[in-house]
A and B are shown apart, each in its own frame.
Chain A
Amino acid sequence: MQVKVRLHNPRRDLEIEGPITIINLLARLDLNREAVLVVRDGELVPGDESLSDADSIEIRPVISGGAS
């Protein structure tokens, strides 16, 4: 079992070896913490939380597009 990670734009799924903190996971995926939120079962997961192998999370981008 590994931590299941769902990413958007484009939508894709990854599996990452746990345990790993959110901050380290985002660093590993080269994602800026200002640009995403991590959601598990509809709830926000704080950056210092450690994910274990049974976890399934979504990394949700928060940056939206149009210049108007």
Chain B
Amino acid sequence: MKCVTCRGPAIIDIRRHNSNFCAEHFLEQCQRQVRKAIDEFEMFTPDDKILVAVSGGKDSLAIWDLLVDLGYNVDGLYIGLGIGEYSDTSLDYARAYAQTRNLHLVEVDVPSTFGFDIPNGSRAAKRVPCSACGLSKRHLFDEEAIKGGYDVLVTGHNLDDEAAVLFGNTLHWHTEYLGRQLPVLPAREGFPKKVKPLVRLAERETAAYCIVKGIDYLVDECPMAAGNKHLSYKSALNEIEAMSPGAKHSFYFGFLDRAAAFFEVEASIDREGLGACASCGAPTTSEICAFCRLVVRAGGQLPDQTGVSAVPVDLGPTRTGSVQ
């Protein structure tokens, strides 16, 4: 195997590009793909203040590293979800990376701030762990991005993630979600602009990027993930990809080019009639937002006392201010 750029010995093959790369030219290829996504979808500029959601896994550390190397101004945001040892270790990886590169990491700990953790809280609230977790993360990402005055929130969703979510939404014809599955969601009242600069890179490439760059990331899977549908969609797509390299890319980018617009109207109806959550101020169609309802049902406490919580609340020093 020879590098397509320099003909030196290659370390990785990327079958959908029909190319092999040496370490140096593989890193260049990753940068090129990220830069292309940023430009093509007008994600942000070097003047923007960027917040990247960091989990300690390969994708979020890779995108943080890529953006810093490309000269952007990026802080990290870590959300502690109280998933036992997994959360402790993932925080160590996020902190270690931030420290080696001298970067700022914002940390929010769900158990000490809201009084519940994902494994127990999701059980109490009768929700699937990943759904309670996803809801909490999305809410806290938005809140921290707005609170910190960031222009844009970056997440580490890669091509496999987007293709798998698209696969699930198509399989069940969740048309209300299809119009929103875009690499850029513009800012609107109470929500930051959200972007996914890794959409042109597959998971295998983000993991390889970390290995080649010597970035230590948490390899072990979250214990809550086992058996979830997202993983089965990913392996189904990888079966297809193995027989037909490029299938995931054309599925997702073909959707963006030729289909997403058909679902825009439905997605925008969904965004109308938003008011402010009576508890935290986040945008919501109900009186209390989905996250604050989850906190109460999970047996936790809301940091701002509004009478929503049944339990007397000890207001921790960790949270001030709300999104309005």
Contacts and interface: CB of A to CB of B under 8 A. Distances in A.
Interface of A: 8-9, 32-37, 39, 42-48, 60-68
A42 B216 CA distance: 10
Interface in B207-261: 207-208, 211-212, 214, 219-222, 224-226, 228-231, 234-235, 238-239, 241-242
Contacts, number: 101
A63 B57 CA distance: 11
Which of A9, A39, A65 has the largest number of chain B CB atoms within 10 A? A65
B301 interface: no
B214 A34 contact: no
B168 to A, nearest CB: 8
30 contacts: A8-B220, A9-B220, A32-B238, A32-B239, A34-B204, A35-B235, A37-B12, A44-B11, A44-B23, A46-B1, A46-B9, A46-B11, A46-B12, A46-B13, A47-B13, A48-B1, A60-B207, A61-B219, A62-B204, A63-B234, A64-B59, A64-B221, A64-B225, A65-B224, A65-B230, A65-B231, A66-B222, A67-B168, A67-B229, A68-B134
B133 interface: yes
Given A34-B241, A35-B238, A44-B11, A62 B225 contact: no
Nearest to A58: B219
A18 B135 CA distance: 48
Contacts of A64: 57-59, 203, 221-222, 225
B138 A62 contact: no
B214 to A, nearest CB: 7
Given A34-B202, A37-B211, 12 more contacts: A9-B221, A33-B242, A34-B204, A37-B204, A45-B11, A60-B207, A62-B58, A62-B204, A62-B207, A63-B238, A64-B203, A65-B130
A63 B231 contact: yes
A8 B241 CA distance: 22
B279 interface: no
A68 B134 CA distance: 5
A66 B228 contact: yes
Nearest to B138: A68
A64 B164 CA distance: 11
B122 to A, nearest CB: 12
Measured as residues with beta carbon below 8 angstroms from the partner, the interface class of chain B is 35 or more
A39 B208 CA distance: 9
A34 B20 CA distance: 14
Contacts of B134: 66-68
A42 B130 contact: no
B137 interface: yes
A32 B226 CA distance: 18
Contacts of B138: 68
Contacts of A62: 58, 203-204, 206-208
Of A9, A39, A44, A63, chain B has the most CB atoms within 10 Å of the CB of: A63
B65 interface: no
A43 B202 contact: no
A36 B20 CA distance: 16
